[in-house]
Amino acid sequence: MNTLSHPAVTRFCHSFAAGLLIVGSMLLAVPAAGQPLSAGAARVEITPSTHLLNWVGHQPYDGVLDPIFVRALVLSDSESNRVAILCWDLVDTREAFVAKVRSETAKATGISETNILINASHTHSAPWAPVLDSPLLAAERKTMSPVEQGPTFREWAGRLPEQCADAVRRADAARRPATLAIGCAWAGEAVFNRRPVRTDGKVETTFTPANPYSLPAGLRFGPTDPTVTLLMLRDDRGQAIAALFHLACHPVSIYPFHKGISADWPGAVATRLQTALGGEALFLQGCAGDIVPARRGLAARDEMARLISERALAAVTNSQVLNPSKLRTARVSIALPLTAAAQRDLGSPALKTEVHVINFGSLALVALPGEPLIGLAMEIQRRSPFPHTLVLGYSNGGGVQYVGLPGDKAKGGYEMTEAGAGTDDCGRLLIEAATGLLCTVGQRQTEAMQQLLEK
């Protein structure tokens, strides 16, 4: 991995964005350089035994409300350039376990580890990813140690890397020529920012509002992104290969009202989309650190799944096919500075993690570790040179868990306590790393188009 100098990245991105406008106007009259996109998708069930201890309360799970899966998508523009996206119905990702899954998958498929992105849905009604030797805060050790030392966990965790590799292997074997279309829909009534702001500028953490559409005591609503983005992959006969849906919102409709295993609302949406469209449906979790369902409970889960799936299907109807392009990826290692309390727990001044970008034409996926707040996604989208920029949280590692924008620590609220191990500067570092990667892949795209113009 490369290490970006963040001030230099900022200057570079500013100059690149200006250049991109000029090149973009030149390209309007020039056909895009065609690249033969192919895609395949698959899923493997990873539902554990109910004897495994629930991390909430450390008791066995109370049955299986619905199964959980690892879902895989493989994209390729040539046999030498393949990208794998793994989406799993688990609470999180952890750096050491991500490295193990990437290694197993690369051995099984030949796909470069650099080209493997792993995103967790963050459902609270399923296990955490195995931590292996990832550093843990004291509160995390208290939560995870009884689970990992309890019955059946090691057996379940031991199978996961092979199951992930198997899902990617199946998806790769199922690849066929594909088109990629993008559509958007509004689902603002389904989500709520649990960090409303008081008149003094401080945050009043509100996990479950009495009325998510009207707040008491002069509280002002925190920001949300109401957009459901649908990425639709179809083969040359128009048959569905995969539908990827993206929204920033905690899957906590079930939690803590039902003690069974569940993929929560994303799993229910995936089932509905698969039934309606065919192919596989994969959920890409956004920056949901401060975003929760507006209503909670089993009935609310079903209603939320119905609403989001209907909006996603409307997005399919109104989708736009993206021009053929080359797949590009970039990763950067980043050291996030820790708070004094976290330094004591982890025995280090900083935590090493990564930011990852996958690009196809006008679309860019940005993968951030841990639990970024929605403000980070909005700022990265604002700075991105790509018109379609989806920012993911819970990807490729746990990072420092909750991360907000610079200044959020002073506003208080649950996410800014020891639940977030990083200093107030971590948000800036993640934004600049992401922006730098976006500009890097954008420059590669622009240079390729300039070469086409010169032919």
User: Is 0.75 surpassed by the pTM of this model?
Assistant: yes
pLDDT digits (tens, 9 = 90+) for 57-93: 999 999 999 999 999 999 999 889 999 999 999 999 9
Q: What is the pLDDT of residue 9?
A: 46
Which residues lie closer than 8 Å to 229 by C-beta, 6 or more apart? 182, 183, 184, 245, 246, 247, 315, 388, 390
Residue 48 lies in a domain: yes
Residue 189 pLDDT? 97
Q: Is the pLDDT of residue 23 over 90?
A: no
CB 130 within 8 A of CB 160: yes
Q: Are 409 and 416 in contact (CB under 8 A)?
A: yes
**155 within some domain:** yes
Say how many C-beta atoms besides its own lie within 10 A of residue 291's C-beta.
25
Residues of the chain above pLDDT 70, percent:
91
- pLDDT of the residue at 184: 98
In a domain, 82, yes or no: yes
**C-alpha span between 52 and 48 (Å, rounded):** 7
Structural domain boundaries, residue 284 = 6-22+34-454
The reported pLDDT for the residue numbered 260 is: 96
Q: Give domain status of residue 397, yes or no.
A: yes
Cα R_g (the chain), whole angstroms = 21
* pLDDT tens sequence across 242-255: 999 999 999 999 99
Contact (CB, 8 A) for 6 and 383? no
Lowest pLDDT segment from 112-126, 166-180, 405-419, 436-450: 436-450
**The predicted structure's pLDDT at residue 452:** 62
Mind listing the pLDDT tens digit for each residue in 333-389? 999 999 999 999 999 999 999 999 999 999 999 999 999 999 999 999 999 999 999
pLDDT confidence tier of residue 136, bands split at 50, 70 and 90: confident
pLDDT tens sequence across 100-132: 999 999 999 999 999 999 999 999 999 999 998
33 pLDDT more than 70:
no
Q: With H, G, I as helix, E, B as strand and everything else as coil, classify residue 328.
A: strand
Q: What is the model's pLDDT at position 91?
A: 98
For residue 425, is it within any domain?
Answer: yes
How many domains would you assign to the chain? 1
Residues facing residue 251 across a β-bridge? none
Residue 301 predicted with pLDDT over 90? yes
The bridge status of strand 240-247 relative to strand 280-285 is parallel
User: What is the sign of the dihedral through the CA atoms of 284, 288, 292 and 294?
Assistant: negative
DSSP conformation class of 332 = E
Q: Which two tokens stand for residue 15?
A: 């100059």
In a domain, residue 27? The reply is no
- For residue 192, what are the β-bridge partners? 292
Distance CA 56, CA 32 (A): 51
Give the residue carrying structure tokens 């609302």: 265
Edge-to-edge strand ranges of the sheet holding 350-360: 327-337, 350-360, 363-367, 388-392
Band of pLDDT at residue 34, cut at 50, 70 and 90: low
Mean predicted lDDT score pLDDT of the chain: 92
Quick one: tokens of 211? 């009325």
pLDDT digits (tens, 9 = 90+) for 303-313: 999 999 999 99
Tokens 């609220």, located at residue: 413
Element (H, E) at 194: none
pLDDT for 31 equals 39
> Is residue 29, in this structure, part of any structural domain at all?
no
> Is the Cβ–Cβ distance between 433 and 334 less than 8 Å?
yes
Cα 289–295–298 angle (5° rounding)? 105
Q: Determine, yes or no, domain membership for 314.
A: yes
- Long-range contacts made by residues 448-453, C-beta under 8 angstroms, separation at least 24? 448/33, 448/326, 449/23, 449/27, 449/30, 449/32, 449/33, 450/23, 452/30, 452/33, 453/26, 453/27, 453/30
Q: Is 416 exposed, middle or buried (0-12, 13-18, 19+ CB in 10 A)?
A: buried
